[in-house]
């Protein structure tokens, strides 16, 4: 492991240092070239201003196109070229972009577009650029130079800029000097890179064993942290479960205790009808308490895998019809229209009839409880390959994505107007998930707020098919 880590780190550091060295060398190369060009341009500007700066007036520019004036300009140009060995030619521009004088007679009198460098000189600032002989204003100039340094120098008279000099200087000598400097620069960069990489490799090699030990220690700490987090999660779930159970048990017990205490008051004389009403409430709350305890026991058995299933072939269309008919006896539910749709041939599923009835009853009862009255509820069966699919769709308030993520948790109830007005323990859907998974299937929900919910149960299908005609009639409950 240590050798593999060292190799990977060495290759990575090699690539990174190569990029850094190349980038640093390129930046230094550009900076060195720029500095050399600026230095030569400054030298040319000093020569131009020293030899021509005080000899040119406005009238000289205005009369430059006269034949007699050309001789005078040529004399000034020769004096300038003789003063600096780098200079090869010169142009003089007026403020409108017209060439007043040039070593190339074909350029004199022509007007060219004013570029950025010339515009800077005409505004009183020095400027420079590297040019070549293919540009339009250089066509027809004498050959012998591939690239030239253009130095733009303002022409001033009486404190005002009246034109600009454009001096072309040869870069042959400067290129040779830069070539030597570049070789020195890149040799230094390469030597520095090799020295740095060798030092880094030696440091990493010595530190690799310690790094591996630290990584192992970090891995151990991470495992311990995950285990501690898992234990905290278990403790939190236990606390939530105990809190939920305590809350659900307290309500029916408080009701039973209250009505029993009222009946046992020594000075109370209750009418028989009132006594019967109290006893009916106590009986209902005892049934509710028994149902809650049964659900808790079922969840415990499902969680531990100890729930015994009496498996037999089940006819889901018939079972769905029985569940809907059973709901007719529950007068506390709001009225709904149930639509049961199964194909003519639907496979049997192997399951426990009591548990599957409990699953279907919870789903359909949930849809009836939490949907507005007189809205339709659909029970639909489909076959997808070797899977029997049952869907229960309502037109209730629907669920948000966060609510869907927790809807199958124990004691979870959606906070809405309908749920606050409807009794429930929050265990029904948790039981549905446990029963579906105990039968080798799964349950899921799809919903959007305001559009209702569709709960889908997928179960392994048997090879035998039901012969019972599909239940298609609409039944009102």
Find out whether 317 and 457 touch, Cβ atoms under 8 Å.
no
228 lies in some domain: no
DSSP string, 191-246: HHHHHHHHHHHHHHHHHHHHHHHHHHHHHHHHHHHHHHHHHHHHHHHHHHHHHHHH
What residues pair up with 168 in beta bridges, in sequence order? Answer: 89, 150
Which CATH number goes with the domain that contains 434? 3.30.565.10
pLDDT value, residue 194: 79
- pLDDT tens track of the chain, all 477 residues? 545 655 666 677 667 777 787 777 788 888 888 888 888 888 888 887 777 666 677 777 766 666 667 777 777 777 777 777 778 888 888 888 888 888 777 788 888 888 898 899 889 888 988 876 655 555 544 445 567 888 898 988 777 888 888 888 887 777 787 788 878 878 887 887 777 777 766 776 666 667 667 778 888 888 888 888 777 766 665 665 566 666 566 667 777 777 787 777 877 777 778 778 878 777 777 766 776 677 667 666 666 666 778 889 999 999 999 888 887 666 677 888 888 999 988 999 998 888 888 889 889 988 888 888 888 999 999 999 899 999 999 988 888 888 888 888 776 766 555 444 455 566 778 888 888 888 899 999 998 888 889 999 999 998 776 554 444 444 444
Residues 451 and 434: their CA atoms lie apart, in Å, by 26
Q: Which of 176, 210, 228 is a domain's end point?
A: 176
- Is residue 232, in this structure, part of any structural domain at all? no
In a domain, 244, yes or no: no
Is 299 inside a domain boundary?
A: no
What would the two tokens of residue 84 be?
């600096």
Residue 338 lies in a domain: yes
- Record the tokens describing residue 162, joined without a space: 């009246």
Q: What is the DSSP letter of 15?
A: H
Same domain, 18 and 162: yes
Considering the domain boundaries, does residue 187 fall inside one? Answer: no
The last residue of a domain, from among 146, 176, 206:
176
Residue 189 lies in a domain: no
Q: Are the C-beta atoms of 373 and 335 separated by less than 8 Å? A: yes
User: How many domains is the chain built from?
Assistant: 2
Residue that has been written with the tokens 């800077």 in this structure: 120
Residues sharing a CB contact under 8 Å with residue 181, sequence separation 6 or more, in sequence order: 32, 36
pLDDT digits (tens, 9 = 90+) for 105-151: 778 888 888 889 889 988 988 898 887 665 555 554 444 556 788 88
Domain boundary (150, 176, 202) is at 176
> Is 372 inside any structural domain?
yes
**What is the pairing mode between strands 453-465 and 474-476?**
unpaired
Residues 6+ apart with CB under 8 A from 3: none
- The range of the structural domain enclosing residue 354 comes to 311-476
Do residues 398 and 451 make contact, with C-beta atoms less than 8 angstroms apart?
yes
Torsion of CA 420, 425, 429, 431, to 10 degrees: 180
Query: What's 101's domain CATH number?
Result: 3.30.450.20
User: Cα 233 from chain centroid?
Assistant: 28
Residue 140's pLDDT is 47
């Amino acid at each position: 492991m240590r050798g593999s880590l060292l190799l990977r780190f060495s290759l990575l550091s090699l690539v990174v240092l190569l990029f850094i060295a190349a980038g640093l060398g390129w930046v230094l190369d550009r900076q060195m070239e720029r500095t050399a060009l600026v230095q030569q341009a400054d030298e040319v500007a000093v020569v131009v201003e020293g030899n021509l700066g005080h000899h040119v007036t406005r009238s000289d520019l205005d009369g430059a196109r006269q034949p007699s004036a050309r001789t005078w300009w040529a004399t000034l140009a020769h004096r300038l070229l003789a003063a600096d060995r780098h200079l090869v030619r010169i142009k003089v521009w007026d403020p409108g972009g017209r060439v007043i004088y040039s070593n190339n007679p074909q350029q004199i009198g022509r007007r060219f577009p004013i570029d950025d460098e010339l515009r800077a000189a005409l505004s009183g600032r020095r400027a420079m650029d590297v040019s070549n002989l293919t540009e339009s204003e250089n066509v027809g100039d004498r050959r012998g130079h591939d690239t030239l340094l253009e130095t733009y120098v303002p022409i001033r008279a009486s404190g005002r800029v009246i034109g600009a000099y454009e001096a072309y200087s040869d870069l042959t000598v400067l290129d040779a000097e830069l070539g030597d400097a570049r070789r020195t620069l890149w040799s230094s960069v390469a030597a520095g890179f090799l020295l740095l990489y060798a030092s880094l490799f030696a440091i990493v090699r010595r530190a690799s064993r310690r790094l591996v030990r630290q990584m192992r220690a970090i891995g151990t700490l991470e495992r311990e942290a995950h285990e501690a987090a898992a234990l905290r999660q278990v403790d939190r779930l236990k606390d939530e479960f105990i809190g939920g159970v305590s809350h659900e048990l307290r309500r029916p017990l408080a009701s039973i205790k209250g009505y029993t205490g009222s009946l046992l008051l020594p000075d109370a004389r209750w009418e028989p009808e009132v006594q019967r009403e109290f006893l009916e409430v106590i009986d209902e709350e005892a049934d509710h308490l028994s149902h809650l305890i049964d659900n808790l026991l079922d969840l415990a058995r499902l969680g531990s895998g100890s729930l015994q299933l009496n498996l037999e072939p089940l006819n889901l269309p018939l079972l769905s019809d029985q569940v809907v008919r059973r709901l007719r006896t529950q007068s506390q539910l709001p009225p709904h229209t149930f639509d049961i749709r199964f194909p003519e041939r639907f496979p049997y599923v192997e399951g426990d009839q009591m548990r599957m009835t409990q699953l279907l009853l919870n789903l359909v009862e949930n849809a009836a409880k939490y949907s507005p009255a007189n809205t339709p509820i659909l029970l639909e069966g489909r076959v997808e390959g070797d899977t029997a699919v049952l869907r229960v769709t309502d037109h209730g308030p629907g669920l948000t994505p966060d609510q869907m993520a927790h809807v199958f948790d124990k004691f979870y109830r959606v906070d809405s107007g309908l749920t606050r007005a409807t009794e429930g323990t929050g265990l029904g859907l948790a039981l549905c998930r446990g029963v579906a998974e105990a039968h080798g299937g799964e349950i899921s929900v799809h919903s959007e707020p305001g559009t209702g919910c569709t709960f889908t149960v997928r179960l392994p299908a048997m090879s035998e098919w039901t012969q019972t005609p599909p239940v298609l009639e609409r039944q009102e409950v």
